[in-house]
Amino acid sequence: MALAGTAAVVSAVAMLLLGVFGTIGVYEGAVEAMEQWHLFFEPTIVGTVAGMVEAAVISFVLMYAFAWLYNAFAS
C-alpha cells in the first residue's frame, strides 16, 4: 500500500507541475505528450485537477499490482 500511495502522490504532483508549466508556456512538449497520453489532462484548472486524479488512480493501481506480484513471487 505504501508503494502504491507514494506513486499516486508523485504522479499527482507531476501532473500539477505540468499543468502549471503548461499554463505559463514552459515544457510545452511534455504538456502536449501528457495531453495525448491522458484522457482528461489539459493545461487548465479543471483539466489539471482531472489529470491529477487520473494519474493518481492509474499509478496506484499499477504499482499496487506490481507490489502484489513482487511479493507473491519473491517469497
* Residues 5-51 pLDDT 10s: 999 999 999 999 999 988 888 888 888 888 898 888 888 899 999 99
d(CA 24, CA 32): 14
Nearest to 15 by CA among 45, 44, 49, 46: 49
- Is pLDDT of 75 > 80? no
- pTM, two decimal places: 0.84
Place of cell 489539459: 42
pLDDT band at 70 (very low <50, low <70, confident <90, very high): very high
**74 pLDDT more than 90:** no
Query: Angle of helix 2-24 relative to helix 28-37, nearest 10 degrees?
Result: 130
| pLDDT score at 38 | 87
Rounded to whole angstroms, the Cα distance separating 8 from 74 reads 23
State the helix-helix crossing angle for 45-74 and 2-24, rounded to 10 degrees.
Answer: 150
